[in-house]
């Protein structure tokens, strides 16, 4: 683990990559960045009307029309955009070539760039350089990746907010405060023989309390943040033959899981997403919940319970044609008390077969204390009401999100929790009048955890994990 220096590192090896998706398109972009890229670009590019053109002398943010050649002649006509250090994405000298979007053309130009001295960029290497050179912090780099991969409006919004750096600013303020206290404590250690107290313990105790409270709020925002980013983890649970697979298929409009009359045919779980009112729901259809004799089934049942434990929302589907619901009501109440973190909705299925549906639904509402709606998964009835109920799960989250900063990544969540634990330890040590050295150690540890989030403290393993998820060219 190293701490990042404030000065800019030397420009890196020249790297090249295709920045646009593979395939046929109107245009494609290749980008190069690093030491000597203007020389490399100059060797393959001829500017129309100005044979004496040199990239090294061109102004930043200027575009030049010309052609790219290899030893055998013309490859394509292109526009070359010049970006000069430090005013580029990577803060190094860069050139972006916009060419015609055919895969063969693009590969040809890439090959010439590699022949002329570029190395093929690793996934996320441009963004990694932007981070290492101090243009963006780690949170913002991750937000760029998340924005590219966003599959819903809310995921996109959370990524944009993170890219703007609100969370970064909060964490930075926190880090500065911790750093100050740490410095004072360490000064005391230097003067340990003289028994001085530069950092008043009562004040420190109070400051750490405030910081810990802020950390706790961020940690607590994770469930909402995750829902905004990844969608609502929704489990469709219920006895075999209640209609789970049918409901899943109707909601998705797809024939994905096999619907069958035999109890227990959904052996494993499958996960699919659908969008309703800008919110993504990640639906899991679990294997039938029953005491199974068969080994495969048994494993499936265990997995089902694990999935339910991770859910934000449980849609419990119940067969209205049953004569007696006592067992089902007991099971629903059991789920409610066991999975307190999840919201629960009861979907009373097969209203097309059950006479007296409205009365039964009302009874179920009273017996379970849950939202209950009558549906026919097979006929598609009542599904709008069900989806409305499901989306009340996220009502207010948008507003909450605008008003405060949300933590959306597991990595950040864990680091914040560790930082909060370290502060808790520090406060206990202060309370018991422990040695300065021990308190300083806990504060340093909290500092490191907070620093790891924004990348002030660099951990190679974390960097690799983050940037490996990017595509090449980003």
> Footprint of ligand GDP on this chain (CB under 6 A)?
238, 240-246, 259-261, 266, 288, 349-350, 352-353, 376-379
| CB-nearer residue toward ligand GDP: 330 or 353 | 353
Q: Is 31 annotated as a binding residue?
A: yes
Note every long-range contact of 358-367, with CB atoms under 8 Å and residues 24 or more positions apart, other chains counting. Answer: 360/320, 360/325, 361/320, 363/325, 364/318, 364/325, 364/329, 367/325, 367/329
Q: Nearest approach, Cβ of 228 to ligand GDP (angstroms)?
A: 30
Whose CA is closest to 308, among 281, 340, 280?
340
Q: Is 127 annotated as a binding residue?
A: no
Q: Nearest approach, Cβ of 263 to ligand GDP (angstroms)?
A: 7
Alpha-carbon distance of 242 to 111, in angstroms, equals: 58
| CB-nearer residue toward ligand GDP: 242 or 447 | 242
Q: Is 221 annotated as a binding residue?
A: no
| CB-nearer residue toward ligand GDP: 127 or 286 | 286
Whose CA is closest to 377, among 358, 356, 350, 355?
350
Q: Nearest approach, Cβ of 428 to ligand GDP (angstroms)?
A: 50
Alpha-carbon distance of 349 to 371, in angstroms, equals: 14
| CB-nearer residue toward ligand GDP: 123 or 380 | 380
| CB-nearer residue toward ligand GDP: 119 or 303 | 303
Task: Note whether 27 and 20 are within 8 A (CB).
Answer: yes
Most distant pair of Cα atoms in the chain: their distance: 89
Query: In this structure, what are the phi and psi dihedrals at residue 233, rounded to the nearest 5 degrees?
Result: -75, 110
Total length of the chain: 474
Q: Is 23 annotated as a binding residue?
A: no
| CB-nearer residue toward ligand GDP: 228 or 390 | 390
Q: Nearest approach, Cβ of 261 to ligand GDP (angstroms)?
A: 5
CA–CA–CA angle 221, 407, 402 (5° rounding): 75
Burial class (CB in 10 A: 0-12, 13-18, 19+), 261: exposed
Q: Nearest approach, Cβ of 380 to ligand GDP (angstroms)?
A: 9
Q: Is 237 annotated as a binding residue?
A: no
Q: Nearest approach, Cβ of 350 to ligand GDP (angstroms)?
A: 4
Q: Is 94 annotated as a binding residue?
A: no
Q: Is 244 annotated as a binding residue?
A: yes
CA distances from 80 to 31, 54, 125, 337 (A): 10, 12, 21, 63
Annotated binding site for Mg(2+): 245, 266
Annotated binding site: 31, 96, 135, 241-246, 260-266, 285-288, 474
């Amino acid at each position: 683990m190293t701490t990042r220096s404030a000065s800019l590192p030397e420009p890196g090896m020249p790297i090249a990559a295709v920045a646009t998706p593979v395939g046929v398109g109107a245009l494609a972009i290749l980008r190069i960045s690093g030491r000597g890229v203007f020389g490399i670009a100059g060797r393959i590019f001829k500017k129309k009307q100005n044979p004496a053109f040199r990239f090294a002398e061109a102004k930043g943010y200027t575009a030049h029309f010309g052609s790219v050649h290899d030893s055998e002649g013309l490859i394509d006509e292109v526009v070359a955009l010049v970006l000069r250090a430090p005013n580029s994405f990577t803060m190094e000298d860069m050139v972006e070539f916009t060419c015609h979007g055919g895969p063969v053309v693009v590969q040809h130009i890439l090959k010439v760039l590699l022949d002329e001295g570029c190395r093929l960029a690793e996934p996320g290497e441009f963004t990694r350089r932007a981070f290492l050179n101090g243009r963006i912090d780690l949170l913002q780099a991750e937000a760029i990746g998340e924005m590219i991969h966003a599959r819903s409006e809310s995921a996109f919004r959370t990524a944009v907010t993170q890219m703007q750096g609100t969370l970064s600013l909060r964490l930075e303020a926190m880090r500065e405060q911790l750093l100050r206290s740490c410095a004072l404590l360490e000064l005391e250690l230097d003067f340990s023989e003289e028994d001085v107290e530069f950092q008043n313990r009562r004040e420190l105790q109070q400051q750490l309390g405030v910081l810990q409270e802020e950390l706790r709020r961020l940690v607590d925002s994770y469930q909402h943040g995750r829902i905004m980013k990844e969608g609502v983890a929704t489990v469709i649970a219920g006895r075999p033959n209640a209609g789970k697979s049918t409901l899943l298929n109707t909601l998705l409009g797809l024939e994905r899981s096999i619907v069958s009359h035999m109890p227990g045919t959904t052996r494993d779980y499958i996960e699919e997403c659908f969008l309703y009112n800008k919110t993504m729901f990640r639906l899991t259809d679990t294997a039938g919940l029953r005491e199974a004799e068969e080994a495969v089934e048994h494993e499936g049942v265990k997995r089902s319970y694990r999935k339910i434990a991770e859910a934000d929302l449980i849609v419990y589907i119940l067969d209205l044609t049953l004569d007696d619901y006592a067992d089902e009501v007991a099971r629903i109440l059991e789920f409610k008390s066991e999975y307190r973190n999840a919201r629960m909705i009861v979907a009373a299925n097969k209203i097309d077969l059950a006479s007296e549906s409205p009365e039964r639904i009302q009874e179920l509402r009273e017996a379970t204390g849950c939202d209950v709606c009558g549906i026919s998964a097979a006929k598609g009835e009542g599904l709008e009401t069900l989806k409305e109920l499901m989306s009340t799960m996220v009502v207010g989250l948008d507003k909450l999100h605008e008003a405060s900063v949300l933590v959306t990544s597991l990595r950040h969540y864990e680091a914040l929790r560790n930082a909060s634990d370290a502060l808790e330890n520090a406060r206990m040590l202060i309370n018991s009048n422990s040695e300065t050295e021990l308190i300083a150690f806990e504060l340093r540890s909290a500092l490191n955890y907070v620093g790891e989030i924004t990348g002030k403290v660099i951990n190679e393993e974390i960097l690799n994990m983050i940037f490996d998820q990017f595509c090449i060219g980003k």
